[in-house]
């Protein structure tokens, strides 16, 4: 038999590199136990059409009509229009369902979630590092950064790092942090006193919460004096 040819494709093959025959169901593979996964369940759309588990709903249709009717009747009416019945207010009494296209409803929901996520502001902690002998130019540069961070609604963590024998002058680092917190008192408030952890001293400053300005009521126009008779 020529190398590389199969004597019986159903039973075994010839391996020209190892010069051996082996069964088509390779023994190495046959030793691996089969994975008996359960059959995948069909995905059920919750609160849509027949999946709505209430007896009656307040059904809203595209023409603006609103009817309180049994759920199955509302589903049939929506399907006759080529639409789906979607439960949009399950806690109402009775629950409110709307006849609309399910794909369009999904698109609008994802769009609303995306817009809400864009408007959501995540507060971050911005860290600024100092040394006990930081000069005034570097200090002012980092203070301006801190003012910008606090104005954006973020917290600021000022850290003084001690290296070598500088750890013997912890009081200088604490004085620097207290000075930094005092200079930013107009823009933020300090969360506790400076703390020493290992070779670092730090203090955290949070932005000042400004109360919303009260809207002024429009003044009434002055009344004209009564005409003389």
Q: What is the pLDDT of residues 27-77, one digit of tens each?
A: 454 455 556 666 665 565 778 888 888 899 999 999 889 999 999 999 999
Angle between helices 136-151 and 170-183 (to 10 degrees): 50
pLDDT at 1: 46
pLDDT at 129: 92
Lowest mean pLDDT among 75-84, 121-130, 177-186: 121-130
CATH class of 49-106: alpha beta
CATH topology of domain 125-207: Translation Initiation Factor IF3 (3.30.110)
Q: Whole-number mean pLDDT of the chain?
A: 79
Tokens for 8, please give them.
């019986």
Split at pLDDT 50, 70, 90, the class of 14 is low
Split at pLDDT 50, 70, 90, the class of 222 is low
pLDDT at 10: 46
pLDDT at 60: 92
Q: With 0-12 CB in 10 A as exposed, 13-18 as middle and 19+ as buried, what is 97?
A: buried
Most confident range, picked from 16-20, 129-133, 209-213, 225-229: 129-133
Domain residue ranges in the chain = 1-32, 49-106, 125-207
CB 152 within 8 A of CB 187: no
pLDDT at 8: 43
Task: With CA atoms as reference, report the closest residue to 181 among 153, 150, 211.
Answer: 150
pLDDT at 22: 54
pLDDT at 204: 92
**pLDDT tens column, 91-148:** 888 899 999 998 888 898 899 888 888 777 777 889 999 998 889 999 999 999 999 9
Q: Which residues are paired to 85 by β-bridges?
A: 99
CB 187 within 8 A of CB 151: yes
CA dist 147 and 136 (Å) reads: 16
């Amino acid at each position: 038999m020529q190398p590389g040819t199969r004597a019986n494709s159903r039973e075994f093959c010839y391996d020209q590199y190892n010069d051996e025959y082996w069964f088509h169901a390779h023994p190495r593979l046959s030793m691996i136990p089969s994975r008996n996964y359960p059959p995948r369940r069909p995905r059920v759309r919750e609160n849509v059409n027949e999946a709505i588990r209430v007896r009656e709903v307040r059904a809203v249709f595209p023409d603006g009509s609103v009817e309180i009717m049994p759920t199955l009747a509302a589903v049939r009416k929506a399907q006759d229009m080529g639409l789906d019945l979607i439960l949009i207010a399950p806690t109402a009494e009775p629950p409110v369902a709307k006849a609309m296209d399910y794909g369009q409803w999904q698109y609008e929901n994802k769009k609303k979630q995306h817009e809400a996520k864009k408007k959501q502001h995540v507060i971050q902690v911005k860290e600024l590092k100092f040394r006990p002998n930081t000069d005034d130019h570097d200090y002012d540069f980092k203070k301006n950064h801190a003012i910008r961070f606090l104005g954006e609604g973020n917290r600021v963590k000022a850290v003084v790092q001690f290296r070598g024998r500088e750890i013997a002058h912890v009081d200088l680092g604490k004085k620097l942090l207290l000075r930094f917190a005092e200079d930013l008192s107009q823009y933020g408030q300090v969360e506790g006193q400076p703390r020493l952890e290992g070779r670092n001293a730090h203090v955290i400053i949070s932005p000042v919460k400004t109360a919303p300005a009260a809207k002024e009521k429009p003044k009434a126009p002055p009344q004209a004096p009564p005409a003389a008779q």
